[in-house]
């Protein structure tokens, strides 16, 4: 027995091979495999407090305040009471803790919802209802149609012939087309016989859990025989059972070991770049604080040595102080406490309040509310708002994020005539709107009520028995691999291998050619009310090289016909020379369809001679049974018969984008945001969407396709692309490339500019090589020079690796957006994760930081809420640091005039209330309501977003400016009152030059100056801002006149020693003159500097704001509404399935139920009970 899975001591050995036995829990429990319970939460009841506190004390400031608290408990150095620190500290930790607890509670609730889903498990010969979380490796479970797959299962048997099972993998790879899985013959015999399933004791040996969605290797040993297992026999967690009544599966991997969970990534603690910068700045401030305290301590030691030693009778030293040096040492710590307000704890309380308030704006935004499914936008994480204003890279899923995942038959060209456009009475083409009259298909009882078409002329052509039109729709109803399902008579449901095929067959159905049923030998079509049974003789299946498929059928009249559909570039080469004029007309229509971003397909036919076909069919049978070179022989035969085709026309299918996607991408691109599409879809489909979304366009210099199959090929393709974009980038070898921060662990690549606009498309297998250590640098250098990058056929883990790569090498903020479980890993990896509540479940939303219903809301989230949040946070931090440096440094200057005795300048009550009451509300008002321009102008001028990407509004340089501004203001605020008070007398001749009067004057100057400063910083005035600023000043004067009154002194003599200071000082004109002078000297340089900078060195924002001011004076006339079209000579190819076609499966009959012969009444229901063999 292998040791894999066993624990050795306390450490679990890494699993190298999985060994399990069906229906034997005791055997499987020995290996201690994970059960099927999943956990995405970070905490539990017992770990919440220690883990959350550990995370919070990673903030240097929190650890610093804890240190301050300890200092304040030491009597010799304490100059302020301990509760002045402990109360705010506990408040900050509590607010953050509660918020984290709520977020994690939601994750617990989501986990519980999934873990408690019901499932039927086979125990002791009976099916028992149980919960997902109780399922264990080796259990046999039963799944029914439309059930989610519980765990990674080995398919044992199913209700379908040959134990086929149809699944949808949208949760895993974003694809909605059906895939088919098939059980081993030896297990298929078990059927749904519970006794035989209970007696099944097969042993499985397979690979250890991994994240490879498309690979599985293992063996099943049963009754001494070994059977090979591969991915075609596995049902993975995250899939959905479709078109299959029931199936049984053996659990191979459960819970965290499933491939879906292996691809999910870990929940990480996300912090914004401003948070990280603040940590650095707080360290700088600590050094600055220590330097100030050291200077003052040295000063105290010198002063006590030279002066204080001789005045001990008048100024006795404290108990235990016996030398000037020791006095200086104690004074160092006293000044640490006094000057700690350079980093007040209220900073972090205010930051949390601002973030919370700006999160509510997102939740309340009606313009981001989607009424169709009652989904508002939601800020699920409240700590990342300002990061939304700094996004440089967006990583987007395609299916369900950019597209609606709905294919619509939009237009077609038949025999040289284009259908699908609507014209008015004057013959002018009109735009299709919700008010445009739709075609009425009520005459067709089998029509799909959801199908919409607007061009009435096509219906008329069908009703007039136009031969070309009938031939066109007959082809669409016959040439496909769709499976019909008819539970009720007339209620047809098509199960298509690709959504395009479903759209084409549905179109034929509505125009009177209804594909009704199929067997391995026949296809039943109801043509204009008449049931016809065509004999299906061959399916020439699709593959990625042929890019076409054909069927050969014999009509009821005995005519042999080959029908073909495929990519126009391929089919045009196969057309008969007589089609010349029609080819040109159809080509014009194809170009027109491509210009609108539609996916095009050419259809053609060929009448066959009986004797030639019989001879060809004989050779086809020989080739299909050949042991050597089977694929090549079949391909040659297909090429031979698919010649001299007659062109019928072309189809144009719209892969419906979500509303506003092209406009959103265009706007975000103008904001210099680079968009990368990471999709599990195939290359052709993804590129088509790239053109439809206006990400890729013909004005680009080039679109590079990276599809190498070896490391060397991929490296060569990447270097060729980079050389074309920027030849200068090869002047330095890769070894000597200059990183921005070579000393740091993450080497930041400098920005490299391309010599034009380029796009890059890379396949999943090539990406696997490119993500290897020696190639990842080349990939990121090449890709980041491109305007658009599309990664196709990527796994969920590769999505996360691409995001991580950009985070590692680029100094940029990333955002990932998706709607399925396959997007969870990249959503967790990116700085910001956005979930779209779409058709693929809620996994992406539950893992996201922000969520909404439509991709188009992303531009409002970033350009409005993100930009506002970033500007508000930056203004807040600049002002906060300024006002606290101005406040604190007055103490520093005062130290030189007070014998370095750690005496405070201000009244202690003013120190307590300064950040808590007097200056808190005005700055919060600005930080919650300020906006340089309103939302309309923010969206209209995306360039306003650029300063956030470059982090211009708050960085180390801006911080230095704040410090210098604070130092300058503190000098004014100390020396002007000091000079005004020096040897000054009142108007009645009494002295005014006392400590209390000086303190009152200094603090009044300070408060008025910082209030004027916030007025200058406020760009958007509201009644709330006015109330907060004037209210704070009013409260200040009310408090000082109350606190310094005779009554308060008599009641609390020790607490309020400044008796009468307010009324005695503030009634003197020279005091107010000095206050006015302080304000002028503090504010004038700021106003002058801003004016000169705007005039002489205007920023991007200054230039845009001038345009906006001009536009407000002279509003432009409204632009006429135009349809967004792209002109292109490139056609969007037809999106066949990503896998090899179902042709061989259909012809073999393995997926067919045996049925009675068809009737000719047109009322046959293939799945009705009376026509099904018992």
Is the model more confident about 171 or about 970?
A: 970
pLDDT at 1046: 62
Q: What is the mean pLDDT of residues 837-862?
A: 82
pLDDT at 871: 94
Question: What DSSP character marks residue 426?
Answer: T
Residue 2: band (very low, low, confident or very high) from pLDDT cuts 50, 70, 90: very low
Contact 997, 920 (CB under 8 A): no
Q: Which residues sit opposite 991 in a β-bridge?
A: 985
| Rounded Cα distance, 594 and 691, in Å | 9
| Rounded Cα distance, 850 and 382, in Å | 9
pLDDT digit string, tens, across residues 1130-1161: 555 554 444 556 676 676 666 665 543 333 33
Q: What are phi and psi of 56, to 5 degrees?
A: -70, -35
pLDDT at 1051: 62
Least confident range from 134-138, 406-410, 525-529: namely: 406-410
pLDDT at 816: 95
pLDDT at 1151: 64
Nearest to 642 by CA among 724, 742, 566: 566
Residue 1034: band (very low, low, confident or very high) from pLDDT cuts 50, 70, 90: very high
Contact 161, 1152 (CB under 8 A): yes
Q: Which residues sit opposite 1126 in a β-bridge?
A: none
- Which token pair is 420? 């699908």
DSSP, collapsed to helix, strand or coil, labels residue 740 as coil
Nearest to 470 by CA among 485, 481, 459, 479: 459
pLDDT at 857 over 70: yes
Least confident range from 233-247, 414-428, 476-490, 1102-1116: namely: 1102-1116
Q: What is the mean pLDDT of residues 312-337?
A: 76
Identify whether 397 is a catalytic site residue: yes
| Rounded Cα distance, 967 and 976, in Å | 14
pLDDT at 913: 82
pLDDT at 923 over 80: yes
Q: What are phi and psi of 604, to 5 degrees?
A: -150, 165
Is the model more confident about 946 or about 322?
A: 946
Q: What is the mean pLDDT of residues 973-985?
A: 84
- Which token pair is 577? 């020379």
Average pLDDT, the chain: 83
pLDDT at 334: 84
- The gap from C-alpha 573 to its chain's centroid, in whole angstroms, comes to 43
Residue 735: band (very low, low, confident or very high) from pLDDT cuts 50, 70, 90: very low
| Rounded Cα distance, 818 and 211, in Å | 19
pLDDT at 709 over 90: no
**SS3 string of 190-214?**
CCCCHHHHHHCCCEEEEECCCCCCC
pLDDT at 883 over 50: yes
pLDDT at 27: 92
Residue 141: band (very low, low, confident or very high) from pLDDT cuts 50, 70, 90: very high
Q: What is the mean pLDDT of residues 1054-1079?
A: 77
| Rounded Cα distance, 204 and 252, in Å | 8
Rg (CA), the chain: 38
pLDDT at 860 over 90: yes
pLDDT at 130: 93
Is the model more confident about 514 or about 271?
A: 514
Least confident range from 184-193, 519-528, 1164-1173: namely: 1164-1173
pLDDT at 76: 67
CB atoms under 10 Å from CB of 457, counted, come to 14
Residue 14: band (very low, low, confident or very high) from pLDDT cuts 50, 70, 90: confident
Nearest to 789 by CA among 700, 662, 667: 700
> Which member of 100, 104, 257, 397 is catalytic?
397
pLDDT at 606: 93
| Rounded Cα distance, 847 and 480, in Å | 39
Least confident range from 193-202, 677-686, 962-971: namely: 677-686
pLDDT at 1165: 34
The proportion of the chain whose per-residue pLDDT surpasses 90, expressed as a percent, equals: 35
Nearest to 92 by CA among 350, 274, 273: 350
pLDDT at 267: 61
pLDDT at 1052: 59
pLDDT at 563 over 90: yes
Q: What is the mean pLDDT of residues 952-956?
A: 91
pLDDT at 507 over 80: yes
Q: What is the mean pLDDT of residues 974-992?
A: 77
The proportion of the chain whose per-residue pLDDT surpasses 70, expressed as a percent, equals: 86
pLDDT at 54: 86
Residue 220: band (very low, low, confident or very high) from pLDDT cuts 50, 70, 90: very high
pLDDT at 17 over 70: yes
pLDDT at 1168 over 50: no
Residue 16: band (very low, low, confident or very high) from pLDDT cuts 50, 70, 90: confident
Torsional sign, CA 1016, 1021, 1023, 1028: negative
Is the model more confident about 1156 or about 1118?
A: 1118
| Rounded Cα distance, 503 and 506, in Å | 5
Residue 1047: band (very low, low, confident or very high) from pLDDT cuts 50, 70, 90: low
- The gap from C-alpha 197 to its chain's centroid, in whole angstroms, comes to 44
pLDDT at 82: 63
């Amino acid at each position: 027995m292998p040791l894999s899975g066993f624990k050795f001591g306390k450490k679990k050995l890494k699993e190298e091979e999985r060994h399990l036995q069906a229906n034997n829990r005791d055997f499987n429990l020995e290996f201690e495999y994970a059960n099927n319970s999943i956990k995405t939460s970070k905490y539990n009841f017992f770990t919440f407090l220690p883990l959350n506190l550990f995370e919070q004390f990673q903030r240097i400031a929190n650890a610093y305040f804890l240190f301050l608290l300890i200092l304040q408990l030491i009597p010799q150095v304490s100059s302020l009471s301990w509760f002045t620190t402990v109360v705010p500290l506990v408040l900050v930790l509590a607010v953050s803790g509660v918020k984290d607890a709520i977020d994690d509670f939601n994750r617990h609730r989501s986990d519980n919802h999934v873990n408690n889903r019901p499932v039927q498990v086979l125990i002791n010969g009976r099916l028992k209802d149980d919960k997902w979380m109780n399922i264990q490796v080796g259990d046999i479970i039963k799944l029914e149609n439309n059930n989610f797959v519980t765990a990674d299962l080995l398919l044992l048997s199913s209700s379908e012939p040959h134990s086929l099972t149809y699944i949808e993998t949208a949760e895993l790879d974003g694809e909605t087309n059906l895939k088919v899985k098939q059980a081993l013959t030896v297990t298929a015999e078990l059927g749904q016989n519970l006794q035989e399933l209970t007696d099944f004791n097969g042993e499985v040996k397979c690979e250890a859990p991994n994240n490879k969605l498309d690979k599985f290797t293992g063996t099943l040993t049963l009754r001494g025989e070994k059977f090979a297992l591969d991915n075609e026999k596995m049902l993975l967690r995250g899939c959905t059972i479709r078109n299959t009544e029931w199936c049984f599966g053996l659990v191979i991997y459960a819970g965290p070991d499933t491939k879906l969970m292996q691809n999910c990534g870990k929940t990480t603690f996300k912090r914004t770049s401003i948070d990280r910068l603040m940590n650095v700045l707080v360290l700088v401030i600590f050094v600055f604080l220590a330097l100030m305290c050291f200077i003052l301590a040295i000063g105290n030691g010198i002063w006590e040595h030279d002066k204080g030693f001789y005045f001990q009778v008048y100024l006795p030293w404290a108990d235990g102080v016996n030398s000037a040096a020791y006095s200086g040492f104690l004074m160092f710590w006293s000044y640490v406490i006094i000057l700690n307000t350079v980093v007040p704890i209220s900073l972090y309380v205010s930051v949390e309040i601002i973030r919370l308030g700006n999160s509510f704006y997102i939740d309340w935004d009606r313009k981001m509310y989607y009424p169709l499914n009652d989904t508002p936008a939601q800020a699920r994480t409240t700590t990342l708002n300002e990061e939304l204003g700094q996004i440089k890279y967006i990583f987007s899923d395609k299916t369900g994020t950019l597209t609606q995942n709905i294919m619509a038959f939009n237009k077609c060209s038949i025999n040289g005539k284009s259908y699908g456009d609507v014209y008015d009475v004057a013959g002018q083409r009109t735009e299709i709107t919700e008010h445009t009259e739709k075609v009425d298909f009520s005459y067709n009882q089998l029509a799909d009520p959801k199908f919409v078409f607007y061009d009435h002329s096509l219906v008329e052509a069908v009703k007039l028995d136009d031969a070309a039109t009938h031939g066109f729709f007959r082809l669409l109803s016959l040439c496909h691999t769709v499976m019909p399902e008819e539970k009720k008579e007339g209620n047809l449901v098509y199960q298509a291998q690709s959504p395009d095929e479903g759209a084409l067959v549905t179109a034929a159905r509505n125009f009177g050619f209804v594909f009704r049923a199929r067997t391995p030998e026949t296809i039943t079509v109801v043509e204009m009310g008449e049931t016809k049974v065509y004999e299906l003789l061959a399916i020439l299946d699709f593959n990625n090289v042929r890019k076409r498929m054909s069927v050969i059928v014999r009509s009821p009249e005995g005519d042999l016909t080959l029908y073909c559909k495929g990519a126009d570039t391929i089919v045009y080469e196969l057309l008969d020379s007589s089609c010349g004029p029609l080819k040109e007309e159809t080509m014009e229509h194809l170009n027109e369809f491509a210009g609108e971003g539609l996916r095009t397909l050419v259809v053609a036919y060929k009448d066959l001679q009986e004797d030639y076909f019989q001879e060809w069919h004989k050779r086809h049978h020989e080739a299909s049974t050949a042991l050597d070179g089977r694929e090549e022989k079949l391909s040659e035969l297909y090429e031979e018969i698919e010649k001299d085709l007659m062109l019928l026309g072309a189809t144009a299918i719209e892969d419906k984008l979500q509303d506003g996607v092209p406009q959103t991408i265009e706007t975000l691109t103008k904001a210099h945001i680079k968009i990368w599409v990471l999709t599990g879809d195939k290359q052709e489909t993804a590129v088509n969407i790239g053109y439809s979304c206006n990400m890729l366009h013909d004005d680009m210099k080039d679109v590079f396709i990276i599809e190498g199959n070896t490391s060397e090929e991929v490296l060569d393709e990447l270097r060729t692309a980079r050389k074309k974009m920027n030849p200068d980038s090869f002047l330095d070898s890769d070894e000597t490339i200059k990183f921005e921060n070579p000393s740091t662990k993450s080497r930041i690549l400098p920005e490299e500019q391309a010599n034009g606009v380029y796009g890059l498309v890379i396949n999943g297998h090539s990406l696997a090589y490119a993500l290897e250590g020696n190639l990842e640098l080349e990939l990121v250098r090449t890709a980041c020079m491109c305007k658009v990058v599309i990664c196709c056929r990527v796994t969920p883990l590769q999505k996360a690796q691409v995001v991580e790569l950009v985070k590692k090498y680029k100094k940029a903020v990333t955002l990932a957006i998706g709607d399925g479980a396959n997007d969870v890993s990249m959503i967790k990896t990116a700085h910001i994760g956005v979930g779209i509540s779409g058709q693929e479940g809620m996994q992406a939303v539950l893992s996201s930081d922000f969520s909404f219903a439509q991709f188009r809301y992303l531009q409002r989230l970033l350009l409005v809420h993100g930009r506002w949040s970033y500007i508000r946070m930056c203004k807040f931090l600049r002002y906060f640091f300024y006002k606290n440096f101005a406040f604190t440094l007055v103490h520093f200057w005062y130290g030189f005039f007070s014998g370095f005795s750690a005496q405070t300048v201000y009244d202690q009550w003013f120190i307590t209330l300064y950040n808590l009451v007097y200056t808190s509300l005005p700055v919060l008002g600005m930080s919650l309501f300020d906006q340089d321009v309103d939302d309309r102008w923010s969206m209209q001028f995306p360039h306003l977003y650029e300063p956030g990407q470059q982090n211009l509004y708050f960085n180390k340089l801006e911080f230095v400016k704040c410090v210098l501004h604070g130092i300058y203001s503190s000098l004014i605020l100390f020396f002007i009152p000091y000079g005004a008070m020096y040897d000054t007398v009142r108007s009645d001749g009494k002295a005014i030059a006392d400590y209390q009067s000086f303190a009152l004057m200094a603090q009044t100057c300070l408060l008025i100056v910082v209030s004027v400063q916030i007025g200058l910083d406020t760009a958007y005035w509201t009644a709330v801002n006015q109330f907060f600023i004037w209210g704070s000043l009013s409260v200040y004067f009310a408090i000082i006149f109350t606190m310094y009154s005779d009554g308060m002194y008599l009641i609390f003599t020790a607490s309020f020693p400044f008796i009468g200071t307010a009324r005695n000082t503030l009634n003197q004109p020279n005091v107010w003159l000095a206050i006015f002078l302080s304000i002028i000297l503090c504010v004038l340089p700021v106003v002058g500097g801003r004016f000169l900078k705007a005039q002489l060195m205007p920023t991007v924002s200054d230039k845009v704001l001038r345009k906006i001011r001009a536009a407000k004076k002279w509003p432009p006339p409204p632009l006429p509404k135009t349809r967004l079209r792209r002109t292109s000579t490139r056609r969007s190819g037809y999106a066949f399935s990503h896998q090899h076609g179902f042709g061989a499966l259909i012809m073999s009959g393995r997926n067919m139920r045996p049925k009675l012969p068809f009737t000719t009444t047109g009322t046959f229901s293939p799945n009705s009970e009376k026509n099904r063999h018992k």
